[in-house]
Structures are given as C-alpha cells and as structure tokens.
C-alpha cells in the first residue's frame, strides 16, 4: 500500500495498491498532483530512492544540459527540481533488524526554506514520517485485509483496492479523529443523564473543508455522486489503470 498523507487534516490524499516499483511511485505522485492545487507541498519520506524521480516527474522542470565541447549531439533534456519543491528524507540505520540511528537528509530545496516550513508548521518542528507511520497502524488495526499474519488477507488485488476505497471513505467522513477535536465554548447537554459534551468531534474530511458534519454509514453508502464529477472521470482515467492480478 502506497499512501500520501496530509498530517494537517489527518487526510490520505492519494493511495496506490501495487508493488514497490518506480512505476507505482510515479503513479502515487501523479495522483497527488491531480487532487491538489498549484501549491507544492513539503514532502518527507523514508530513504527509498524511487521517490526522488517520482517527485521530479510530478513537480520538476525540464532543462537542456550544455553540450560538452563543440561537436556531437546535445544531451537529452533532463528534469530538475524547482525552487518551490522541498523534499527531505528520514534515514534509519539498522543493525540486526533494529533501528540504531536516525538522521535527516535534504534531497530537494534550500535548508533555510525547509527550516522556515517547519517553524510555521502546526504539526511538527522536525523532519519525520511519524504521522503516516501512525496512520499505517490505524489501517492495520481497522482493516482486516491489512492485518499481519492472519488468513484475512486479500487474494485479488482488484477487490483489495475496492475494499480499501470503502474503508478510506468511512475513515474520512464517518470516523472522528481524536487529535482533530475542538473544545466547545460551552458544555453541551446530552440526552438522558449523560455527561455534558465538551468536544466537537471532527473527521478528516471536516478538517479539510470537504463536509461540515459527521456522516452516518447510511449517508455514506447512499451518497449520490454528482453528475458534474462523473463527467470528469474520463480526464483522470489514466491515473487509475486496471490492476493486473498477475502482479
């Protein structure tokens, strides 16, 4: 499971079901680019090398390298990061399967610009991947098909993806996230003799401005997709190729 996570809203903005290949990394970043505006987010990840090229394909700019000498062909055009592209990695060194050292490495961007981003962040002041790792734990706890060492795993990638879309929708629209809740200015009475309500429950979709209330399961399952969205599906069909079960 490939996941792009926005910690501000505890929101999964894109995911891909597939193997650990460059092609899947490119697809994940292409989906991120498709659902975000022109603003380039600040990216962090582990040290796997495929993310570098995926980010360049999604957010880089093409340039023509200078020819060496006066004869021969010009080098092929290449990709380079724009000044707005900020990307850092968390590098973990392991010994005998245990993490013994953690360092941070800036891949794209200016160090001062990254420090400024972190200083303005409401979530963390350090380069880390803790939010998406905690979210991975949530999925393993709540999604039977992702639980380790059980017989509940998926045997078909297509149905695995469909089930994950459904569980993702429930997580975003129906399930309040404790870290997002807001304290009410006044205690709100509840039915019967229950304790007064102190907090306004917030889901990731509410935090991101996608809805203004907690959805029920019935509301989620009965939601009617707007026609204007259906009309856009052809333009993004290339981002959702059919899964090959042989992979």
Same domain membership, residue 130 and residue 192: no
Same domain membership, residue 117 and residue 15: yes
Q: What is the pLDDT of residues 114-143, one digit of tens each?
A: 999 999 888 888 999 999 999 988 888 888
Residue 161 belongs to some domain of the structure: no
Residue 116 belongs to some domain of the structure: yes
Same domain membership, residue 136 and residue 33: yes
DSSP 8-class letter at 208: T
Same domain membership, residue 137 and residue 188: no
Of the residues 156, 180, 205, which one is the last residue of a structural domain? 156
Total tally of structural domains belonging to the chain: 2
Q: Which of 52, 44, 33, 36 is nearest to 131 (CA)?
A: 44
Residue 26 belongs to some domain of the structure: yes
In the numeric block, which tokens belong to residue 123? 């979530």
Task: Please count the CA atoms within 13 angstroms of the CA of 117 that sit on its side-chain side.
Answer: 18
For residues 11-45, one letter each, b for 16 or more C-beta atoms within 10 angstroms of the residue's C-beta and e for the rest, the string is: bbbbbbbbeeeeebbbbbbbbbbeeeeeebbbbbb
Same domain membership, residue 40 and residue 117: yes
Q: What is the pLDDT of residues 35-72, one digit of tens each?
A: 999 899 999 999 988 999 999 999 999 998 888 777 77
What is the extent of the structural domain holding 197? 172-239
CB 236 within 8 A of CB 32: no
Residue 245 belongs to some domain of the structure: no
Same domain membership, residue 68 and residue 17: yes
Q: Which of 49, 8, 16, 53 is nearest to 32 (CA)?
A: 16
Same domain membership, residue 176 and residue 151: no
191 pLDDT band (50/70/90 cuts)? confident
Same domain membership, residue 48 and residue 151: yes
Mean pLDDT of all residues in the chain?
A: 90
Same domain membership, residue 181 and residue 132: no
> Has residue 155 got a pLDDT over 90?
no
* Residues 6+ away with beta carbon under 8 Å from 84: 40, 59
Model pTM score: 0.88
In angstroms, the CA 158 to CA 75 distance is: 41
In angstroms, the CA 14 to CA 227 distance is: 22
246 pLDDT band (50/70/90 cuts)? very low
CB 171 within 8 A of CB 146: no
247 pLDDT band (50/70/90 cuts)? very low
């Amino acid at each position: 499971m490939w996941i792009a996570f926005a910690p501000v809203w505890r929101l999964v903005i894109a995911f891909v079901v597939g193997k650990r290949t460059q092609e899947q990394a490119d697809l994940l970043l292409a989906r991120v680019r498709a659902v975000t505006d022109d603003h380039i987010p600040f990216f962090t990840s582990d040290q796997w090398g495929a993310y570098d090229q995926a980010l360049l394909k999604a957010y880089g700019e093409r340039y023509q390298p200078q020819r060496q000498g006066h004869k021969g062909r010009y080098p092929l055009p290449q990709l380079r990061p724009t000044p707005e592209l900020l990307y850092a990695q968390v590098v973990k060194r392991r010994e005998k399967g245990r993490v013994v050292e953690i360092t941070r490495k800036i891949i794209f961007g200016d160090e001062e610009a990254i420090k400024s981003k972190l200083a303005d962040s409401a979530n963390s002041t350090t380069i880390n991947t803790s939010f998406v790792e905690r979210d991975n734990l949530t999925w393993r706890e709540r999604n039977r098909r992702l639980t380790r060492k059980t017989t509940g795993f998926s045997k078909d990638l297509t149905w695995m993806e469909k089930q994950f879309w459904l569980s993702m929708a429930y997580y975003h629209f129906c399930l309040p996230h404790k870290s997002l809740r807001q304290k009410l200015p006044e205690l709100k009475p509840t039915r019967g003799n229950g304790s007064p309500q102190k907090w306004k429950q917030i889901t990731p979709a509410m935090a991101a401005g996608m809805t203004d209330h907690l959805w029920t399961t019935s509301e989620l399952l009965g939601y009617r997709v707007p026609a204007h969205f259906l009309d856009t599906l052809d333009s993004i069909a290339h981002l959702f190729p059919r899964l090959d079960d042989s992979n």
